[in-house]
Chain A
Amino acid sequence: NAGVTQTPKFQVLKTGQSMTLQCAQDMNHEYMSWYRQDPGMGLRLIHYSVGAGITDQGEVPNGYNVSRSTTEDFPLRLLSAAPSQTSVYFCASSYLGQGVTYEQYFGPGTRLTVT
């Protein structure tokens, strides 16, 4: 099992450029999510998905798009990068179950700098 993988590990963008952060998991988890981590702000939920074809917004969704066409993949798209999107991005996944606490497994993160 590779767990949760994220690519790239590092990325530098110019303002206005677009890019996709890739996230994949091989644990057949229904739940996947994207967070951004900024100094002093903890992790903030951007978007999440409870299964293929289903996505929903988190705390800070503006400027980001997601889709979930397969169980395994959950890419995060920045349509027009802005310096405020400079951050470390984490993808996470977990099982879903009624009345069961499933832990999230996190990817290693992507450090994105927008100049």
Chain B
Amino acid sequence: AQTVTQSQPEMSVQEAETVTLSCTYDTSESDYYLFWYKQPPSRQMILVIRQEAYKQQNATENRFSVNFQKAAKSFSLKISDSQLGDAAMYFCAYRSPDDKIIFGKGTRLHILP
């Protein structure tokens, strides 16, 4: 069965600094999709970034980028120039070829002013 592991339940970063959130996953598939979602206190789930497993290039969205290591089954999220609005729960998610989506348990990110 596929699993997604986020080993950091909580992290803190100083405003304007860079932080990296870790995610590892386990699968026997070769084609799949990976996502990072953000959940602020409003509870609304917001897509941050996505990565297709067949693409070697790491995805980037403005201040957010990923380090996708397919062989290591690692998918970390880097947030540059952290802002107060980045404070939230962040979830890593894996989507299998048969469309089952598995989420990690989340990392709560605190931004220190």
Contact = CB atoms under 8 A, between A and B. Distances in A.
Contacts of A106: 44-45
Interface of A: 31, 33, 35, 40-45, 48, 50, 58-59, 88, 90, 92, 96, 99, 101, 103-104, 106, 108-109
A40 B105 contact: yes
Given A42-B103, A50-B99, A108-B44, 19 more contacts: A33-B101, A40-B9, A40-B105, A42-B105, A42-B106, A43-B45, A43-B91, A45-B101, A48-B100, A58-B100, A59-B102, A92-B45, A99-B52, A99-B54, A101-B51, A103-B47, A103-B50, A106-B45, A109-B43
B104 interface: yes
A91 B84 CA distance: 28
A105 to B, nearest CB: 9
Interface of B: 6, 9, 31, 33, 35, 43-45, 47, 50-52, 54, 91, 93, 95, 99-106
A103 B51 CA distance: 11
Nearest to B43: A109
Nearest to B35: A103
Most B CB atoms within 10 A — which of A42, A59, A104, A108?
A42
A106 B44 CA distance: 7
A108 B104 contact: no
Contacts of A90: 45
